[in-house]
Amino acid sequence: MSAAAVMAVLFFLFFLVGVGVGVLVVIALSARRAHQAQVRPVAPPPETWPYRSGPGAGEGGPDGSPWWHARGGD
């Protein structure tokens, strides 16, 4: 084999080793994050999440009528 062919094979092997190490690192970090998430329980969300209690600004209420009744000329 020529020197260029040997260098091409070495570069290809170096590339494959790098890809393999990268895949292993991603798997290890993902597993570590999943393990840490199981160790620390997350507090449950509040009872009204994600909605606030009571009517919103455009839904009517004691301070005014709903927006669809407030429009004129329809």
Q: What is the pLDDT of residues 8-57, one digit of tens each?
A: 999 999 999 999 999 999 999 998 888 776 666 667 666 655 666 665 55
Tell whether pTM > 0.75. Answer: no
The one-letter amino acid code at 29 reads L
- Residues 9 and 1: their CA atoms lie apart, in Å, by 11
- The helix/strand count (H/E) of the chain reads as 2, 0
SS3 annotation, 54-69: CCCCCCCECCECCHHH
Both tokens of 29, joined, read: 């970090």
- Residues 37 and 57: their CA atoms lie apart, in Å, by 38
Please tell me the predicted confidence (pLDDT) of residue 33. 84
Determine which helix (DSSP H) or strand (DSSP E) holds 42, and give its type and residue range.
none
